[in-house]
Structure 1
Amino acid sequence: MPQLNISLDEEQAKFEADVAAIEKQWSSPRQAHLKRPYSAHTIAALRNSIDVAPTASSQQAIKLWNQLQEHNKNGTTELTFGTTEPTIVSQMAKHQQSVYVSGALCGFSEVDAPGMDACDYPWDTVPKTVAKIFKSQLWHDQRQRQFRLRHTKAQRATLENWDYMAPLVADGDMGFGNVTSTMKMAKAFVDAGVAMIHLDDLAIGMKKFTVGQGRTVVPTSEYLDRLRTVRMQFDVMGAETLLLCRCDTDHSEFISSVVDPRDHEYVVGATKRVESLQDHLAQAQAQGKDLKAARAAWKANAGLKTFDEAVQAVASEDEFKAYLSEVRREAFASLTARREIASKTVQADVFFDWERPRSAMGQYMWKPSVKTIIERAVAAAPLGDVTWARMDAPVWKDIVEFHEGVRKVYPDRLFAFGYTGDYDYGKAGFSPAQVKTLHLDLAKMGVVWQVQPIWALQGLNMVAEDFGKMWAEEGIAGYVRDVQGPALSRKPMTDGFEKLSWCGGYLADAFFETIAGEEITEKA
C-alpha cells in the first residue's frame, strides 16, 4: 500500500482546522455547559482522517435537547415508558416525545439467555435494540411521507402526520467493563442513532435481588471515569449525543472500594471488637445456621457506624464540635485525616474498623445520605447533560432536598426520574392527590424527563393475559366485540395490517411504480 503523499504543512493545517471545529462545537449553546479533562488538540489527534460524523444521532440529540429545554422553560415534563418493540414505538409517536430502551427489558426479550436485570448480557445488546427501533422509525417516517405526497397539498390537511422520529434514550448500565468496553458500547449507541444514553454508578457483577442486601456502587472516581470515557468517545466521533448521569447511590448498602477519599465520610465500620463478618458467616454456615439471621445478629453486635458517628459516640459535645470544625476545613477529608483530627480533638480512643464488616465479595458497608447523592451528582454534572438520581423508592423531602441541592450549584440543571412498578405510594405517605400531581411537582424542580421503564413487562403482560383469557373463552365473537370492531370503526382507523397507509402498502407499491417510470406524487 503506498504511503500518503501529503505535505507536513497540509497535515498540520488539516489538524488545526479540526481543532478549531471542535472548539467551536464545544462553545455552542448545546455544549457550553460541559467541562472536559482533555483538550481539543487531544481529541483531534484521536479522530479519523476522513469525516465520519454521526449525523443521525446528533440530529436526534439536538432534537431531544431542545425538547427538554422547552419543558424546563415551561415547567412541564416528558412522560415516556420503556419498550423494545418497534410496533409499540409506532404508537408512542402519538403521545410521547421520546422512547426509552431499557437494559432490563432487553435482558428479557433481546438475548439468547433471558434473565433478571443483572446486566450480564453482551455489551452490544441494547445498542442493537436501539438500531432495530431506529430503523423502524425511519421506515414509518418514509412510508408516511410517501403516502402524504400521493395526495395534493389541500388533501394532506386531513391526513395523519405523526412525528415517528421520537428521540431514543437508552440504558448504558455500568459501561460493561473497562475503558475500551465502555468506548465500544458508546460508539455502537451513536452508530445506532441514539439521542441520549445513561450510565450509572453501580458495581459490575454485584446485583442481588433476594438476599436482603441493597445496591453496591463504585467509588466516585470510578463513576466519573465511566462518564469521562463516554464523553471522550462522543467527542472523538464529533457527536452531539446526550449523556445522562444516573446515580444509584440512594438506598445502596455497599461500595466496592474505598480508594476515593470523597466516599470515606459514608463508609461504615465496626466500633466493637467483634470477629469479622466473613468469619462469622463462615462459622454460621459450618453450623448449619440461617445466614440472613446470622448476618443480622452480627450487625446488631458490631456497633456499625460511620467514623464521624463513632467519634460522636465517645466525644463530649465540645470535642465533637471541634472535631467537625477541623474536618470541614477540608473538602473531602480521608479516613486517615479524620483519625488524625480525632486524635487531636477528642480525648477518648475511637475504635473504628471498616474492614470487619466487608462482605464475602469484598464490598465495604456504607451509609449514604441525600448529601452523598448531591455530591456525586455535582461531581458528575460537568461531564453530562442531564442528572438522574435513582430515588425510585421516593421520599418526598429527600427528592426535594436532592434537586434543590444540585440546583444551588447548577441552577439550570436538567433532571430525569424513573418510576418502579411495585412501589406503594400510600404506604410511603403519599396522598392520592400527591400521587396525581407527582409528575407535575417534579417538573417544577427541573425534572423534564420521566420514565416508567417496565411497562412492557407489567403493563403489556397484563393486557396480553386479559386478551388471552377472553380469546380462549369466547373466540372470534369476543375478538370482534373487543378488538376488531372498535379498531375498524375508529376515525382514523386503528393502525394494523389492514390499514395500508400504516403497514406500508402504498410505499411497497411506490417502488414498483417508480421502477416502471410512473409518478408517485400528486402536484400541489
Structure 2
Amino acid sequence: MSQKWASVKEESEAFEAEIKEIEAWWQTDRQKHIKRPYTAKSIAALRNIGMKIDYPSSAMGRKLWKIMREHSDKGTYELTFGTTEPLIAKEMAKSMQTIYVSGALCGLSQAAWPGADHADYPADLVPSVVKRIFNTQLWHDQRQTQMRMRYNEHDRQSLECLDYFLPIIADGDMGFGTLTGCMKMVRSFVDAGVAMIHIDDLALGLKRFTNGEGRTIVPTSEYLARSTTARMTFDVLGVDTMLLCRCDSDHAEFITSVIDPRDHGYVLGATREVEAFGEAVEKAKVEGKDYLSVKAEWKGRAGVMTFDEAMKSVASEEQYLEYVSGVAGQVVPLQRRRVMAREALGKDVFFDWELPRLPLGQYMWQWSTKAVIDRAVLAAPLGDVTWNKQDMRDFHTEVRKVYPDRLFAFGFTGAYDFIKAGYTQEEVETFPQDIAKMGVVWQVQPIWATQGLSLHAKQFAEKFKKEGIAGHMRDVAAPSIAGMATDKYGKPTARGDHLADAFFDVVAGVDIAEVVQ
C-alpha cells in the first residue's frame, strides 16, 4: 500500500504551506475585499493537498473582474443578454463582452420536461448548458487559431481574430436546497468554466409568480449560509470565480421561518383575535370563494401589520418615540420588542404572527427597500458584485455608504414598461449610461430568447411559408454569406471543416502548410 506522505512531519509541513498560500491569495487585489467567516486553516483542511487543479473558471473569473473594474473606473458598462444556444453565444463574441445563462431559459428550452421559472429542473442543468457554451468557445478559438496559423503575418491582418472567451455569468437560483447540494452545484459550475454565478434568497419549492402573490424568501441566516457555501467552495477549489449576491426579497410577500431576529421587524402578524388564515382558506374552498379575495378580506379583518406598526397604532407619539429609540438600527427579536412596548405603554400589544401563516407554512412578510438593503449589506462581504433592484436610488446609496467601491449588476425584464413607470423616452434612452455612473457595471436582459428569438423565428416561419426558398435566399442566405468569412473553397470558416482536416494531417505526420493566396 502506497503512502501519500513519507512522514507525518512532511504532511504537517505541506499543510502549513497550504495555509500560507491561501492567506497570501486572500490578500491579492482580486480577493482582498472579501470577508470570510472562516480561517485559511479550515479551508486548507478541506483541500486535496498535493493535487492542484487549474480550473478555467478561475481564469474567466479574473477576466470578468478586470472587465468590471475597468467599467467602474470609466463609468461605463457591459450590456448583454441571456442565451442557452451555443450558436448564438458564438455570434455574441462580435459585440458583447459577456454571456448570461438564465435558469428560467434553461428550464424552458433545455430541461427534459420544460416549465415556467420554478427552479424545479435538475441542479446540474444550468452548469451543463454553461459547459456546452464554454466548449463551443474552446472549439471556435481552436479552429480560428488553426486557420490563422496557415497564413503569413501580412495576410492574417485581414482575417477574423475574435476573443471567443466571453466570461459566462450563470443563474445558481437558490442553491438547490441543502448546504451540500449548494456546494455540489457550485462545483459543477466551476467544472463547467463559469466566470460568475448568482445565488438568491428565494425559498426552494415555493417559486411561483402566477397566482397574484409575491415571492417567498428564506430567513437572512439561510441566505447568508448559501452565499457562504458558494464562497467556501470557491476557496476549497482555489478559484477566482466571482459571486454575485442577489436579493430577491423586493416585493416578497412571505418568509419560510422567523428563526432569525434580523427578520423580525418585517414579519406581519394579526393585531385582532380572529380565526387562523389557514382556517379561512379551507372554509373559502368549501364555499367556492376566490382565494385572493379571501386573503385580502382576512388581512383587513385581522388588522395585519408589523409589530412596530402595531405598537404605533396604540401608542401616543411620545410612547412610540421612546420605543423606536431602542429599536432603530438594532437587531431586536420580537420577544424583546414586546418587553420594550410593555415598558413604554404599561400594557401588552396584541400581535400574533402565527395566525396569518399560509397553508404551506409561510409567515406573511412586509417587504420594503430597507429590508432588501439590510440583506444586501450583510451579504456583500461574501461576494464580488451586488444585484441591484428596480427602485435603485435609495438601494444604491445605502449600500455604498457601507461599501463605497461596490460593483452592481442590474437585470432588465421584457415585461417592464419604463414609460408606464414614469420614465420619459429620453430617460429610457440614457438609462444604461445613467445607472453605469452609479457603479452598475454589468447589465443584462436575462430572457431575451423568450421574446427576441421567438419573435425572429415566428417572423421567419411566416415568411418562409409564404415565400419559400426564394425568400430564404434573399433575406437569410445572401446576407449571411456576404458577411461570412470563408476558406479558399468558399466554405464558412465558422463550420470548422479545415479543423477536421488538420486533425487528420497531424495524425498522418503532415505539417501545417501556409495557404497561398
Q: TM-score, normalised by structure 2?
A: 0.97
Q: Does 1:41 align with 2:44?
A: no
Cα distance in 1 for residues equivalent to 2:302 and 2:169: 44
1:256-271 map, 5 Å: 256-271=256-271
Letter in 1 for 2:331: F
Question: 1:269, 1:353 within 8 Å by CA — same for their partners in 2?
Answer: yes
How many angstroms does 1:209 deviate by? 2.4
Q: Does 1:517 align with 2:504?
A: no
Cα distance in 1 for residues equivalent to 2:156 and 2:3: 56
What secondary structure is seen at the aligned counterpart in 1 of 2:244?
strand
1:41-80 map, 5 Å: 41-80=41-80
Question: 1:315, 1:347 within 8 Å by CA — same for their partners in 2?
Answer: no
Cα distance in 2 for residues equivalent to 1:353 and 1:499: 73
How many angstroms does 1:267 deviate by? 0.8
What secondary structure is seen at the aligned counterpart in 1 of 2:80?
strand
| Shift in CA distance, 516/3, structure 1 to aligned 2, threshold 3 Å | closer
Q: What residue number does 1:375 align with?
A: 374
Letter in 1 for 2:253: E
- Cα root mean square deviation, aligned: 1.7
Cα distance in 2 for residues equivalent to 1:5 and 1:277: 63
How many angstroms does 1:35 deviate by? 1.0
Q: Does 1:341 align with 2:340?
A: yes
Q: What residue number does 1:504 align with?
A: 496
How many angstroms does 1:5 deviate by? 5.2
Question: 1:268, 1:367 within 8 Å by CA — same for their partners in 2?
Answer: yes
How many angstroms does 1:293 deviate by? 1.7
Q: What residue number does 2:393 align with?
A: 400
Q: What residue number does 1:160 align with?
A: 160
Letter in 1 for 2:159: L
Question: 2:408, 2:439 within 8 Å by CA — same for their partners in 1?
Answer: yes
1:83-232 map, 5 Å: 83-232=83-232
Question: 1:420, 1:454 within 8 Å by CA — same for their partners in 2?
Answer: yes
Question: 2:485, 2:494 within 8 Å by CA — same for their partners in 1?
Answer: no
Q: Does 1:425 align with 2:418?
A: yes
Q: Please, which of 393, 404, 407 is the counterpart of residue 411 of structure 1?
A: 404
Q: What residue number does 1:487 align with?
A: 480
How many angstroms does 1:160 deviate by? 1.3
Letter in 1 for 2:88: I
Stretch deviating more after TM superposition (50-59 or 251-260): 50-59
Question: 2:209, 2:215 within 8 Å by CA — same for their partners in 1?
Answer: no
Task: Count how many residue pairs are aligned between Structure 1 and Structure 2.
Answer: 515
Question: 1:418, 1:451 within 8 Å by CA — same for their partners in 2?
Answer: yes
Cα distance in 2 for residues equivalent to 1:193 and 1:210: 34
1:443-454 map, 5 Å: 443-454=436-447
Cα distance in 1 for residues equivalent to 2:54 and 2:83: 24
Cα distance in 2 for residues equivalent to 1:369 and 1:494: 56
Stretch deviating more after TM superposition (468-477 or 4-13): 4-13
| Shift in CA distance, 498/350, structure 1 to aligned 2, threshold 3 Å | farther
Cα distance in 1 for residues equivalent to 2:383 and 2:210: 33
Question: 1:315, 1:348 within 8 Å by CA — same for their partners in 2?
Answer: no
Question: 2:485, 2:493 within 8 Å by CA — same for their partners in 1?
Answer: no
Q: TM-score, normalised by structure 1?
A: 0.95
How many angstroms does 1:20 deviate by? 0.9
Letter in 2 for 1:303: G
Cα distance in 1 for residues equivalent to 2:515 and 2:460: 45
How many angstroms does 1:65 deviate by? 0.3
Cα distance in 1 for residues equivalent to 2:291 and 2:490: 59
Listed one character per residue, the Cα deviations across residues 350-382 of structure 1 (whole Å, up to 9, x for unaligned) are 211111111111111111211111110110011
How many angstroms does 1:421 deviate by? 1.1
Cα distance in 2 for residues equivalent to 1:169 and 1:463: 24
1:226-305 map, 5 Å: 226-305=226-305
Cα distance in 2 for residues equivalent to 1:282 and 1:453: 38
Cα distance in 1 for residues equivalent to 2:94 and 2:410: 22
